[in-house]
């Protein structure tokens, strides 16, 4: 049921009629709420009804706050009594309530039950008074106790569905209100109004505030969800309040709704239409080439590429650019880094898992990059991780060790990338316990944070502790870093004996000896990934034998098993559970797998996921545009998990190509994709942008051609191991877990200080292989002083002074006495001085005329400029235009405005030297928001 209120009065009537309709729609008398069925001193005709423990008692205790964190649901309990947090361990809670020592439930003396007496007495109950003795809540609990306090085992049932009306809410003005109604549908066929037993929350109180009874009140313009909780159901209800109408007399917006036929644009437009938001115009070509290049490849476009793109008048040039970027090495390099984040490629956690140090992260990265280069379908890529085997088909243990030793040599990463699986995923030190694997697996491949359910019912999702435990069991047979059986041990011992030359070596020294041998290319033993399925089969067989011996039916013996999240049928552990896991992941019906990667890729391009945070896909955190996420996920599966299809589909949409310039309707929109939201570039991208912008054309081209020394090309230990300061400052993923929160894209003061004042920045600006030095060569002036030019200029000043001193002596000689002896003596001194000048100046490229020629005409020796940078700036002004243009193109990917060019020229002219002026210009551009932020 959807509401659209034209005026407050009409809105009130609609809400009133809707509530009447909802009441009339109740199926029968049995579905009436408990407050009606247990009202008054004398209940109605249903007074013989016995409240159900799961349907009524536990939800009521939850509604009253008894099993909340601040009360008996805490880990320590309260007042010597503990319930399961949020009350979803029905058996444990029933035992706790009936524990004689607790006194909470006394079926012999009902009124003395503390569950009744304490909440009605504010002085006795630390949590205060919760209900009155004549209330329906009291009567429900009293009736349940008086009828024997029946527990869940005698009355098992399951919630099939929780229907909440209205299913969507629209407000049009302040102080409008709507009441939610919740009806439970149970497996036993009963249907019941449970509104008063539900818990309610709002994801944004400023837009829609909701009280404990499910009554909403409108607030600010925008959209959010209110969430209804009952039993294991978590139901989000979208709430929308459109933007206000334009003030009277204001001209229409200079934008229009997209007429694009692109499915993304249509689905986004549907949501924007409900919100009354008009999208921003399309971004400029210079904005687009910079944005898509950095988002898709992490690499700043070259100035020549920008010029060519801006000069191109082809109508499909953006699509052509996208296609070329997808085929570029930068695409695979950058997305292999992102996948390394999500899959947990951590050097710290991979320490000592291979007999060659410092190579595990490189091998991991190379394996991912190879598949992205080849555009391997995402499900196949994941299968290579989830179902990884250490050995290739037909490869025996000795061959495996030989091949791995070779792959671990410098430059051998490509050999490992050719292997079919990535067993390193299972080998991390923080990924050994089944519980750790359950949490990490859910983060990586499902975008689900399940760790809360490790201890209690997930507060915002349906996962119980039992769900977590059953899921974790699936990972128990997987044995990473296994040494192998007897036959393998013999081969290992043979290799070790060769390495140690038959000598007995202690563990620490043995490890160092193996490391040394591996570095030198000698074949060393490698551990393997094994899946132990025999344990479950053997235990089951043993149990059957015992049962048969004792005369019981052996067919009733169960094989150890675990259960995939959300599934009912268990997976037995007498076979590799990863087969079932992978089959479930790639199933079109899987509610998480495709959506998780689609949402993460979308977040990379928009700075916010359709579900945000992008790895927190829980029922209480619904997508901002569910039809959009559903479309992308289903089409991604239909297109065989083609990652290129996903990137292409997103970036070719008008939605992605919108300007960051806001209009009056979308200025406050941050999650509905009506405009581009400026955001700080990721750490690796920032690092490389600075290096490329400040480096010379030759050094930048070298970086772009092989990517080996670029931060976006992860797996480079020299960057990640030394924790490069810039990468750390800008929030490179720590990879402590598989959580997206390990990376930070938030701006900070330290980042500004780094770009403005860090010695690293000054070195790059004055580097001999930097762009400023290259520009100075173009102008024919000395480069930056930080590039060894201070010494050069000091030498020039000394040579100029020596020249002037010699010319003065020469002038005195010409005017000295005609005495031959005296002239001969002076001439001898001049000759010696001339020879000294030749020795000093010739190495610096100065040619000195012969002494006789100088005596005849001193003016033939042109004066040495004491500071060559003092050459007239006017003489180089013509070249400054093009250099300033180049500076803007290489940093901001656009041409400078005329005013910016004028300011640049004026500043360089006023600077002490052209080099100093160019340094300041480039420094200023790198420190603009336009450089550091996606726009």
Structural domain contains residue 445? no
The answer on 389 and 466 residing in a single domain is yes
DSSP state of 605: H
Residue 850 confidence (pLDDT): 87
Give the residue-averaged pLDDT of 379-397.
95
Which of these ranges, 339-348, 361-370, 846-855, has the smallest mean pLDDT? Answer: 846-855
The answer on 15 and 69 residing in a single domain is no
The answer on 385 and 523 residing in a single domain is yes
H or E element that contains 296: helix 285-297
Give the pLDDT confidence of 260-310 residue by residue, as tens digits.
899 999 999 999 998 999 999 999 999 999 999 999 999 999 999 999 999
- What is the band of 786 on the pLDDT scale with cuts at 50, 70, 90? low
Q: What's the predicted TM-score (pTM) here?
A: 0.83
The answer on 197 and 68 residing in a single domain is no
Indicate the residue among 842, 869, 896 that finishes a domain. Answer: 869
In the predicted structure, residue 47 carries a pLDDT above the cut 80: no
Q: Which of 325, 328, 327, 333 is nearest to 292 (CA)?
A: 325
Residue 254 confidence (pLDDT): 40
290 backbone φψ class: left, alpha, beta (φ>0; ψ -120 to 50):
alpha
The answer on 557 and 420 residing in a single domain is yes
Q: What range defines the domain where residue 415 resides?
A: 349-438+450-578
Rounded CA separation 844/635 (Å): 68
Structural domain contains residue 96? yes
Residue 866 confidence (pLDDT): 58
First to last CA, the chain: 39
> Which two tokens mark 298?
């992490």
- What is the band of 457 on the pLDDT scale with cuts at 50, 70, 90? low
Counting the structural domains of the chain, the total is: 4
Give the pLDDT confidence of 729-755 residue by residue, as tens digits.
887 777 777 677 778 777 778 888 888
Indicate the residue among 578, 596, 620 that finishes a domain. Answer: 578
Residue 736 confidence (pLDDT): 75
Q: For the domain that residue 17 is a member of, what is the CATH number?
A: 2.60.40.1080
Mean pLDDT, rounded, of the chain: 83
The answer on 60 and 21 residing in a single domain is no
Give the pLDDT confidence of 121-153 residue by residue, as tens digits.
755 666 677 778 888 888 888 888 888 888 888
Cβ(434)–Cβ(471) under 8 Å? no
Q: Where are the beta strands (DSSP E) in 85-241?
A: 159-165, 169-170, 177-179, 181-186, 191-193, 199-202, 208-210, 215-218, 222-230, 233-241
The answer on 165 and 18 residing in a single domain is yes
In the predicted structure, residue 699 carries a pLDDT above the cut 60: yes
Structural domain contains residue 527? yes
In the predicted structure, residue 251 carries a pLDDT above the cut 70: no
**Bridge partners of residue 531, in order along the sequence:** 478
Residue 256 confidence (pLDDT): 43
The DSSP bridge pattern shows strands 181-186 and 191-193 to be antiparallel
Give the residue-averaged pLDDT of 444-467.
78
Structural domain contains residue 653? no
| DSSP H helix total and E strand total for the chain | 38, 16
In the predicted structure, residue 903 carries a pLDDT above the cut 90: yes
869 backbone φψ class: left, alpha, beta (φ>0; ψ -120 to 50):
alpha
- What is the band of 48 on the pLDDT scale with cuts at 50, 70, 90? confident
Residue 761 confidence (pLDDT): 86
Residue 918 confidence (pLDDT): 93
> Which two tokens mark 32?
């009436």
The answer on 16 and 82 residing in a single domain is no
Structural domain contains residue 714? no
Rounded CA separation 128/65 (Å): 11
Structural domain contains residue 475? yes
The answer on 498 and 353 residing in a single domain is yes
Cβ(164)–Cβ(136) under 8 Å? no
In the predicted structure, residue 44 carries a pLDDT above the cut 60: no
> Which two tokens mark 58?
């536990």
Residue 424 confidence (pLDDT): 95
Secondary structure of the chain: what % helix, strand, coil (to 5)?
50, 10, 40
Residue 867 confidence (pLDDT): 55
Residue 306 confidence (pLDDT): 97
Structural domain contains residue 417? yes
Q: Is the peptide bond before 763 cis (omega within 30 degrees of 0)?
A: no
Rounded CA separation 303/925 (Å): 14
Give the residue-averaged pLDDT of 92-105.
76
Structural domain contains residue 174? yes
The answer on 229 and 134 residing in a single domain is no
- What is the band of 87 on the pLDDT scale with cuts at 50, 70, 90? low
The answer on 479 and 418 residing in a single domain is yes
Indicate the residue among 241, 275, 295 that finishes a domain. Answer: 241
Percentage of the chain exceeding pLDDT 70: 84
Cβ(466)–Cβ(762) under 8 Å? no
The answer on 472 and 382 residing in a single domain is yes
- What is the band of 485 on the pLDDT scale with cuts at 50, 70, 90? confident
Rounded CA separation 47/40 (Å): 11
Which of these ranges, 185-189, 218-222, 543-547, 923-927, has the smallest mean pLDDT? Answer: 543-547
Residue 390 confidence (pLDDT): 94
Rounded CA separation 350/343 (Å): 12
Give the pLDDT confidence of 607-666 residue by residue, as tens digits.
999 999 888 888 888 999 999 999 999 999 999 999 999 999 999 999 999 999 999 999
């Amino acid at each position: 049921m959807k509401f659209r209120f034209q005026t407050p009065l009409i809105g009130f009537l609609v809400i009133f009629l809707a509530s009447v309709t909802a009441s009339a729609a109740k199926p029968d008398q049995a579905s009436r709420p408990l407050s009606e069925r247990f009202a008054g001193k004398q209940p109605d005709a249903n007074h013989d009804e016995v409240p159900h423990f799961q349907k009524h008692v536990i939800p009521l205790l939850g509604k009253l706050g008894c099993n909340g964190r601040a009360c008996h649901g805490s880990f320590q309990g309260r007042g010597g009594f503990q319930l399961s947090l949020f009350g979803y361990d029905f058996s444990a809670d029933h035992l706790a309530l009936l524990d004689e020592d607790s006194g909470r439930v006394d079926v012999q003396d009902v009124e003395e039950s503390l569950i009744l007496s304490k909440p009605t007495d504010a002085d006795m109950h630390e949590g205060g008074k919760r209900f009155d003795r004549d209330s329906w809540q009291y009567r429900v609990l009293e009736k349940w106790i008086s009828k024997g306090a029946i527990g869940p085992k005698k009355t098992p049932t399951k919630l099939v569905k929780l229907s909440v009306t209205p299913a969507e809410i629209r407000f049009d003005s302040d102080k409008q209100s709507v009441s939610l109604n919740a009806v439970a549908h149970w497996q036993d066929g009963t249907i019941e109004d449970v509104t008063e037993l539900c818990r309610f929350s709002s994801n944004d109180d400023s837009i829609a505030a909701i009280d404990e009874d499910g009554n909403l009140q409108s607030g600010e313009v925008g959209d959010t969800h209110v969430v209804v909780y009952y039993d294991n159901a978590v139901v989000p209800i979208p709430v929308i309040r459109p933007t206000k109408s334009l003030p009277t007399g204001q001209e229409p917006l200079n934008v229009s709704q997209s007429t694009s036929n692109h499915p993304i644009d249509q689905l986004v437009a549907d949501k924007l239409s409900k919100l009354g938001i008009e999208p921003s115009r399309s971004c400029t070509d210079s904005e687009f080439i910079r944005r898509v290049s950095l988002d898709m490849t992490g690499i700043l476009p070259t100035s020549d590429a920008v010029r060519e793109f801006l000069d191109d008048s082809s109508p499909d040039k953006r699509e052509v650019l996208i296609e070329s970027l997808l085929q570029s090495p930068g695409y695979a390099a950058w997305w292999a880094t992102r996948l390394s984040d999500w899959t947990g490629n951590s050097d710290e956690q991979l320490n000592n898992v291979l007999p060659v140090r410092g190579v595990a992260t490189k091998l991991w990265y190379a394996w991912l990059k190879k598949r992205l280069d080849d555009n391997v379908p995402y499900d196949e890529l994941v299968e290579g991780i989830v179902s990884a085997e250490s050995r290739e088909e037909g490869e025996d243990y000795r061959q495996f060790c030989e091949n791995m030793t070779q792959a671990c040599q410098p430059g051998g990463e490509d050999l490992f990338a050719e292997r079919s699986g990535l067993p390193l995923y299972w080998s991390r030190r923080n990924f050994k316990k089944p519980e750790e694997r359950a949490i990490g697996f859910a983060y990586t491949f499902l975008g689900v944070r399940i760790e809360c359910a490790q201890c209690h019912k997930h507060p915002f999702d349906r996962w119980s502790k039992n769900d977590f435990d059953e899921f974790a069991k699936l990972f128990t047979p997987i044995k990473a870093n296994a040494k192998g059986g007897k036959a393998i041990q013999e081969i290992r011992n043979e290799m070790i004996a060769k390495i140690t030359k038959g000598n007995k070596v202690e563990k620490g020294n043995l490890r160092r000896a193996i490391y040394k041998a591996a570095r030198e290319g000698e074949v060393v033993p490698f551990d393997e990934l094994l899946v132990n399925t025999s344990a479950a089969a053997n235990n089951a067989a043993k149990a059957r034998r015992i049962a048969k011996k004792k005369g019981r039916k052996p067919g009733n013996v169960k094989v150890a098993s675990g259960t995939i999240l959300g599934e009912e049928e268990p997976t037995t552990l007498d076979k590799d559970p990863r087969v079932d896991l992978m089959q479930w992941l790639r199933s079109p019906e899987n509610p998480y797998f495709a959506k998780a990667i689609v949402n993460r890729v979308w977040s990379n391009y928009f700075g916010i996921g359709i579900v945000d945070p992008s790895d927190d896909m829980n029922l209480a955190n619904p997508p901002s545009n569910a039809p959009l996420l559903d479309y992308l996920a289903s089409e991604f599966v239909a297109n065989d998990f083609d990652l290129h299809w996903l990137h292409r589909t997103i970036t070719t949409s008008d939605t992605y190509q919108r300007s960051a310039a806001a209009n009056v309707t979308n200025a406050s929109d941050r999650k509905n994709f009506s405009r581009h939201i400026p955001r700080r570039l990721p750490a690796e991208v920032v690092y490389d942008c600075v290096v490329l912008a400040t480096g010379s054309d030759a050094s930048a081209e070298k970086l772009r051609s092989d990517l080996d020394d670029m931060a976006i090309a992860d797996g480079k230990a020299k960057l990640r191991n030394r924790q490069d300061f810039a990468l750390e400052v800008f929030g490179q993923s720590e990879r402590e877990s598989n959580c997206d929160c390990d990376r930070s894209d938030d701006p900070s003061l330290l980042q500004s200080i780094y770009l403005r004042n860090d010695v690293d920045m000054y070195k790059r600006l004055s580097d001999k292989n930097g762009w400023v030095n290259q520009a100075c060569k173009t102008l024919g002036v000395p480069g930056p002083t930080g590039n060894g030019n201070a010494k050069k200029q000091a030498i020039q000043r000394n040579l100029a002074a020596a020249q002037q001193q010699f010319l003065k002596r020469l002038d005195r000689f010409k005017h000295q006495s005609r005495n031959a002896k005296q002239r001969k003596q002076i001439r001898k001194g001049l000759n010696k001085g001339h020879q000294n000048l030749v020795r000093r100046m010739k190495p610096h490229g100065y040619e000195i005329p012969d002494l006789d020629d100088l005596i005849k005409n001193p003016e033939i020796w042109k004066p040495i400029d004491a500071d060559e940078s003092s050459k007239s700036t006017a003489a180089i002004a013509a070249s400054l235009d093009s250099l300033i243009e180049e500076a803007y193109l290489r940093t901001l990917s656009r041409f400078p405005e005329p005013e910016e060019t004028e300011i640049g020229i004026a500043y360089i002219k006023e600077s002490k030297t052209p080099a100093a002026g160019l340094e300041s210009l480039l420094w200023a551009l790198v420190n603009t928001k336009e450089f550091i932020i996606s726009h």
